[in-house]
A and B are shown apart, each in its own frame.
Chain A
């Protein structure tokens, strides 16, 4: 079965000017990201802020066009943003935002906003449809008459979810859907997301910096650093025994009862996409870096247990697998 959505070597550049008369410098928010989303499966995307997670989400949805590479939805390239075909495609690709209050129009009731995608795509948008959507995400029907500011944060995120699900999308991109919520509400929304996915069988791209949340929902996890995927694999493999030094540092930062003194503290500056280090982007902060890391950027290659890792050292002890991956 072919993948639902396939992204190849996505590159996204921005131009940044330092000072009023400074030269414009290129900022590579994304530097060759490839990922595949299968029907009904979830890909988790983790990494620190500024590493290009959200940009990846927007490119995958087709909200922006990549400067390099290509996104194909069901084998066909994305139509240009704003075109008629692009607008029609929105019914199948939907998004859940980090800030639910900002994503809702504060002048319209929840019910009319949930009905809006149905109206836009010419589907029946009566009270019954809206009520069914609201109940599905765990809101009461009478919430439909309220305004966004009259709901709590968790209820707002449910309303955003109901709106995104209205047209039964095949792919849902969740961009930090729980990071603006209370911890107690986070679990509820996570459970709701998993429940909805089980029921509707849509694919999800789950973007978060919360490793536990990602582990809970994902079938595969990709770790990003400075616009590249450095490790990708099953969540249990990646999060229990990370192969990439950055993923190791990330995982060791999880609070863990009973473990002491094993946190890896990264030294050096946080990454700046405008001033990308040569070779492996992580080498200035990597405790294990060798001379080769400074010269040569590692490619994302299959590792022992089927996951993909972009690190010279992770591959070095088991060269036979490198051969297999290259073959």
Chain B
């Protein structure tokens, strides 16, 4: 730059935070998840039929493009119920379960992990024992026994799935909080006279949030798949309610004759879990100020 002045002007502004363009994958993931969310919220408005409505004269009708007609865009199942309508209601149920369970798990795990890191000693031993117990217990057996004793309801089911991965958050939160407390920013803020609420709420939690959020995006697909698995086994969402997993489960009998019953919810599961993972990957980079 020959025309640049030899001396830089003395006033230096703080560097602007550069706004990078969203990567294509993140745009796709965000818009897919927005679409899923809109579907879940507007299920009653956009569903062409009720999810229990029978059309006995059009049983196992193929989707449009495979010999079907406009009345049933994604075909029908063995009772003539519209696959599109059931898919829309299934997305609502499954998203509610997956989001609810992920949040419950993250909240329980993080609070227990931070408690362990703060109090150490006996509290920490108790939390760690609980973590080991939870990690060594096959989750299906726990789910079976809880559902057998308490019956099945949506609220209980969400809470149960919330217990699925809490120990992971507890371990992460405890480890990171102990590290921060031992040396570094948390110790520095503590000796400034901050209350524990301030140390954990304003310093430690925001600092470990990116790790926890990434962990949540890893747990989210797992919970969708777990819900699918439990519903497939008949333990999860009970008919006539429907979820993505139970649709796959009941559709398997017609896999050869009417694969659309199973393929429609299966592809929604695959794309949604993929999008959440991609979004988590992108968020981790985005939440780190040193990478911006």
Residues from chain A with a CB closer than 8 A to the CB of B185 are: 102-106
Task: Judge if A214 is at the interface, Cβ distance under 8 Å.
Answer: no
Residues from chain B with a CB closer than 8 A to the CB of A160 are: 188
Residues from chain A with a CB closer than 8 A to the CB of B286 are: none
Residues from chain A with a CB closer than 8 A to the CB of B192 are: 90, 94, 116-117, 120, 163
Give chain B nearest CB distance to A59 CB in angstroms: 13
- Return the chain A residue nearest B290 by Cβ: A149
Task: Judge if B203 is at the interface, Cβ distance under 8 Å.
Answer: yes
Question: Of A138-146, A241-249, A307-315, which binds chain B?
Answer: A138-146
Give chain B interface residues in 187-222, CB to chain A under 8 Å. Answer: 187-189, 191-196, 198, 203, 206-207
Task: Judge if A63 is at the interface, Cβ distance under 8 Å.
Answer: yes
Q: Are B289 and A106 in contact (CB under 8 A)?
A: yes
- Interface size class, chain A: 20 to 34
Query: How many Å lie between the Cα of A265 and that of B212 in the bound state?
Result: 52
Query: How many Å lie between the Cα of A142 and that of B12 in the bound state?
Result: 8
Residues from chain B with a CB closer than 8 A to the CB of A103 are: 184-185, 187-188
Q: Are B289 and A107 in contact (CB under 8 A)?
A: yes
Q: How many residues of B contact A (CB 8 A)?
A: 22
Residues from chain B with a CB closer than 8 A to the CB of A106 are: 185, 207, 289-290
Query: How many Å lie between the Cα of A91 and that of B207 in the bound state?
Result: 25
Query: How many Å lie between the Cα of A91 and that of B188 in the bound state?
Result: 13
Give chain B nearest CB distance to A79 CB in angstroms: 12
Task: Identify which of A87, A99, A120, A142 contacts B14 (C-beta below 8 A).
Answer: A142
- Return the chain B residue nearest A142 by Cβ: B14
In the complex, the number of residue pairs spanning A and B with C-beta atoms less than 8 Å apart equals 66
Q: A90-B192, A103-B188, A105-B207 are in contact. Are A145 and B14 (CB under 8 A)?
A: yes
Task: Judge if B13 is at the interface, Cβ distance under 8 Å.
Answer: yes
Task: Judge if B183 is at the interface, Cβ distance under 8 Å.
Answer: yes
Task: Judge if A97 is at the interface, Cβ distance under 8 Å.
Answer: yes
Q: Are B12 and A140 in contact (CB under 8 A)?
A: yes
Q: Footprint of A on B, CB under 8 Å?
A: 12-15, 183-185, 187-189, 191-196, 198, 203, 206-207, 289-290
* Pairs across A and B, CB under 8 Å, 28 listed: A63-B191, A87-B194, A87-B195, A88-B193, A90-B192, A91-B193, A94-B192, A95-B188, A99-B183, A102-B183, A102-B185, A104-B185, A104-B188, A105-B189, A105-B203, A105-B207, A106-B207, A107-B289, A108-B203, A116-B192, A116-B194, A117-B192, A120-B192, A140-B12, A145-B14, A147-B290, A150-B15, A160-B188
